[in-house]
């Protein structure tokens, strides 16, 4: 299967390209500028709306992962605009281009996020749960809606609502490692907010599962079946990183919610203090076998 991958140099994209090749598929990178890659490349320009449908001929599926990092810094108005436009404009350009093809690919897997649900406390959330309130839910709504031209063309569209992707190579876990190893990381706020996480291996495995199961379509939560509270996450990190005779194995000072808000603003509140207790109902019903369903064994395998 020939699979076009955008965002192929990111944490998920890099792992996906590797595993596609390992599983006998042919990945093709969708890039802004030609780079030194072993795989074939197709260029596009989102700002100028440039993507030639003829360049996409013969592609069987598309995995669209490109988007500006939402945790790159405080959410100024300029940053919010970049976050939204990088996702919505890119997805719309790709979907409209696919819709112009005489023989488009059968499947478009487009990234989204569990930020769609917003801060929902203890409520269990599945793919049929409603839209939340705030900046991230609105971005996710527009992001998923931008796939409509592909849907109208008859392409199977899957919106992968990613939770917190755990890998020591990047993302949230990499950012956490130094403060945890220095004994400076404790609960965030009251620690009761739910963190719906997923190991990078299961992200890649889940995408491959989606690509090869044609009945799956629409939103799909990419989280494990066992979300944890921030306090439980902190405890698991301590158990994995510290010997039992060290004080920080048992307790480290929490970061007050007010301090998080003052330091990081709206971004900190949305990404660190909000609670999303998510179930991957579609993946479970489609028979995906999670490699790392439980947090502490997952962390031990990574660290």
Of the candidates 118, 119, 295, 301, the one whose C-alpha atom is nearest the C-alpha of residue 224 is: 295
Read off φ and ψ for residue 269, nearest 5 degrees: -65, -40
Q: Six-digit token pair at 144?
A: 């998923």
* Per-residue confidence (pLDDT) for residue 242, from 0 to 100: 86
What pLDDT, on a 0 to 100 scale, did the predictor assign at position 186? 84
**pLDDT tens digits for the chain (303 residues)?**
999 999 999 999 999 999 999 999 999 999 999 889 999 999 999 999 999 999 999 999 999 999 999 988 889 999 999 999 999 999 999 999 999 999 999 999 999 999 999 999 999 999 999 999 999 999 999 999 999 999 999 999 999 999 999 999 999 899 888 888 887 788 999 999 999 999 999 999 999 999 999 999 999 999 999 999 999 999 999 999 987 767 666 677 788 888 888 778 888 888 899 999 999 999 999 999 999 999 999 999 999
What pLDDT score does 295 carry? 98
Under 8 Å CB-to-CB from 252, ≥6 apart: which residues? 183, 184, 185, 186, 234, 238
CA torsion through residues 28, 29, 30, 32, sign: negative
Q: Is the dihedral of CA 70, 72, 75, 81 positive or negative?
A: negative
Domains and CATH numbers, the chain: 2-302 (3.40.50.720)
Measuring CA to CA, how many Å separate 133 from each of 136, 140, 194, 270? Answer: 8, 11, 17, 11
């Amino acid at each position: 299967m020939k699979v076009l991958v955008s965002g192929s140099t990111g944490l998920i994209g890099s792992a996906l390209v590797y595993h596609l090749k390992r599983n006998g598929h042919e990945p093709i990178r969708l890039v802004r500028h030609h780079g030194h890659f072993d795989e074939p490349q197709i260029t596009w320009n989102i700002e100028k709306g440039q993507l030639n449908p003829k360049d996409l001929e013969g592609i069987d599926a598309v995995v669209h992962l490109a988007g500006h990092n939402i945790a790159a810094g405080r959410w100024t108005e300029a940053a919010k605009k970049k976050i939204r436009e990088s996702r919505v404009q890119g997805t719309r350009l790709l979907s409209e281009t696919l819709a112009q093809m005489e023989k488009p690919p059968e499947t478009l897997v487009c990234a989204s996020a569990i930020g769609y649900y917003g801060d929902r406390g203890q409520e269990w959330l599945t793919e049929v749960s409603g839209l939340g309130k705030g900046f991230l839910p609105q971005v996710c709504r527009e992001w998923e809606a931008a796939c409509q031209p592909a849907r109208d063309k008859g392409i199977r569209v899957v919106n992968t609502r990613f939770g917190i992707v755990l890998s020591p190579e990047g993302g949230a876990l990499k950012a956490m490692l130094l403060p945890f190893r220095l004994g400076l990381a404790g609960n965030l706020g009251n620690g009761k907010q739910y963190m719906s996480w997923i190991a990078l291996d299961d992200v890649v495995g889940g995408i491959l599962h989606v690509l090869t199961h044609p009945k799956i379509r629409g939103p799909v939560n990419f989280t494990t079946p066992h979300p944890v509270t921030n306090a439980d996450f902190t405890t698991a990190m301590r158990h994995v990183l510290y010997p039992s005779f060290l004080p920080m194995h048992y307790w480290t000072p929490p970061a007050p919610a007010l301090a998080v808000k003052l330091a990081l603003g709206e971004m900190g509140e949305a990404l660190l203090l909000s609670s999303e207790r998510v179930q991957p109902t579609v993946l479970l019903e489609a028979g995906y076998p999670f490699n790392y369903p439980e947090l502490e064994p997952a962390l031990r395998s990574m660290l």
